[in-house]
């Protein structure tokens, strides 16, 4: 919900500002404990990762119990884990565990899917809980009487391919609990950035904020076009006397424009000096890696929100491609 609308509905609302340094420290602490278990860790976001423990002497389920307890006892943080033979089922298992444990308390679920039971575990779950089944695909499936992942698995592969093209083959594989994607730890060693040198030095914060927002949109469009995510946001600022400084913050792999804009705006808050003229400002993202496809949450509200966000991103990208970068920007409901 936009902040402006939330304040109108609840004027006494207490707004807690984001604390990126705190989030970063907590994330690093959690990831350090994951890396202590195995060096085969693929971080998806600031608070989510895949671990490959196939070569570990301790059974995966036992490792999960120990890891959850360690994070809880040492860091005072709850965490949920899904254990399975592949990434797709492990991710869904995590979400199922969260839903099953929903009691109003902080989430701390543990769901284990034994090898060979992937298809049986997935079968009763709703079709839109499967990676690749968005609102439109779910609607087309429902029109054909397909409502669960088990229903998808029961469909002949040829029928799914006729209906959905190449995506139909992926649906058939995933519905049966088959996912051959490895846990990848390599990162792309490059960055994407956008800088603006002003024709006249700029003193007002509003112009700088708008420029940062435009730059964030362009950087994220480039990331999304190349199917990449970034882990570090950097702000570059050059004063009129040519003194240059940079600030950066880490936030976990993302290609979300709103999150990048928020992080860049937070960095601008750290360096901006009222009345001091700015000659150049730039936004960049580094720590790039191939985008890991995210699975839809099984929670209905979260899934619908994620679906709407995905559709919004696609719509914004289409508009900009047709009418130019300046055609549309995200805003706040103030």
| Domains of the chain and CATH, by start | 16-114 (3.30.70.270), 119-175 (1.10.150.20), 192-327 (3.30.1490.100)
pLDDT of residue 134: 86
- The C-alpha atoms of residue 147 and residue 92 are separated, in whole angstroms, by 17
Rounded to whole angstroms, the maximal C-alpha distance in the chain is: 69
Question: Token match 């039971």: residue?
Answer: 117
Kindly tell me the sign of the dihedral angle through the C-alpha atoms of 192, 259, 230, 138: negative
- The C-alpha atoms of residue 248 and residue 234 are separated, in whole angstroms, by 4
- The C-alpha atoms of residue 119 and residue 108 are separated, in whole angstroms, by 24
> Above 90 in pLDDT, residue 235?
yes
Percentage helix, strand, coil for the chain under 3-state DSSP, each rounded to 5: 50, 20, 35
Question: Are the CB atoms for 82 and 97 separated by under 8 Å?
Answer: yes
pLDDT tens, position by position, 53-101: 998 989 999 999 999 999 999 999 999 999 999 999 999 999 888 776 6
As a whole number, mean pLDDT of residues 153-168 equals: 93
pLDDT of residue 298: 38
**0.95 exceeded by the pTM?**
no
pLDDT tens, position by position, 168-197: 999 999 999 999 999 988 655 578 999 999
DSSP summary character for residue 109: -
Kindly tell me the sign of the dihedral angle through the C-alpha atoms of 215, 284, 302, 174: positive
Catalogue the active-site residues. Answer: 48
Using alpha carbons, select from 195, 199, 203 the residue that is nearest to residue 237.
Answer: 195
- The C-alpha atoms of residue 41 and residue 58 are separated, in whole angstroms, by 17
pLDDT tens, position by position, 271-312: 999 999 999 999 999 988 877 644 433 333 434 444 455 555
Strands (E), 203-309: 228-239, 244-254, 278-286, 289-290
């Amino acid at each position: 919900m936009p902040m402006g609308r939330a304040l109108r509905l609840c004027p006494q609302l207490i707004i807690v500002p984001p604390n990126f340094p705190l989030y970063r420290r907590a994330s690093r602490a959690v990831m350090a404990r994951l890396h202590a278990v195995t060096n085969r860790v693929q971080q998806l976001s600031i608070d989510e990762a895949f671990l490959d423990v196939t070569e570990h002497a301790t059974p995966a389920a036992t490792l999960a119990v120990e890891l959850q307890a360690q994070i809880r006892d040492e860091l005072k943080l709850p965490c949920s884990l899904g254990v399975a033979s592949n990434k797709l089922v492990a991710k869904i298992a995590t979400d199922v565990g969260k839903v099953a444990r929903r009691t109003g308390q902080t989430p701390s679920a543990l769901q284990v899917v034994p090898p060979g039971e992937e298809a049986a575990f997935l079968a009763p779950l709703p079709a839109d809980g499967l990676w690749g089944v968005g609102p439109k695909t779910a609607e087309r499936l429902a029109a054909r009487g397909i409502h669960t992942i088990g229903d998808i698995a029961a469909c002949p592969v040829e029928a799914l391919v006729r209906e959905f093209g190449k995506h139909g083959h992926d649906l058939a594989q995933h519905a049966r609990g088959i996912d051959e994607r490895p846990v990848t730890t390599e990162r792309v060693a490059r960055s994407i950035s956008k800088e603006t040198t002003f024709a006249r030095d700029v003193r007002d914060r509003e112009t700088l904020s708008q420029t940062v927002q435009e730059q964030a949109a362009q950087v994220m469009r480039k990331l999304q076009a190349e199917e990449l995510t970034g882990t570090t946001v950097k702000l570059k600022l050059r004063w009129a006397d040519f003194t240059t400084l940079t600030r950066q913050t880490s936030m976990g792999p993302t290609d979300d424009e709103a999150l990048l804009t928020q992080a860049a705006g937070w960095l601008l808050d750290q360096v901006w000096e009222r009345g001091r003229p700015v000659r150049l400002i730039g936004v960049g993202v580094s720590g790039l890696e191939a985008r890991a496809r995210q699975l839809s949450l099984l929670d209905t509200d979260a899934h619908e929100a994620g679906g709407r966000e995905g559709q919004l991103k696609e719509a914004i990208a289409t508009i900009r491609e047709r009418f130019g970068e300046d055609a549309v920007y995200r805003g706040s409901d103030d």
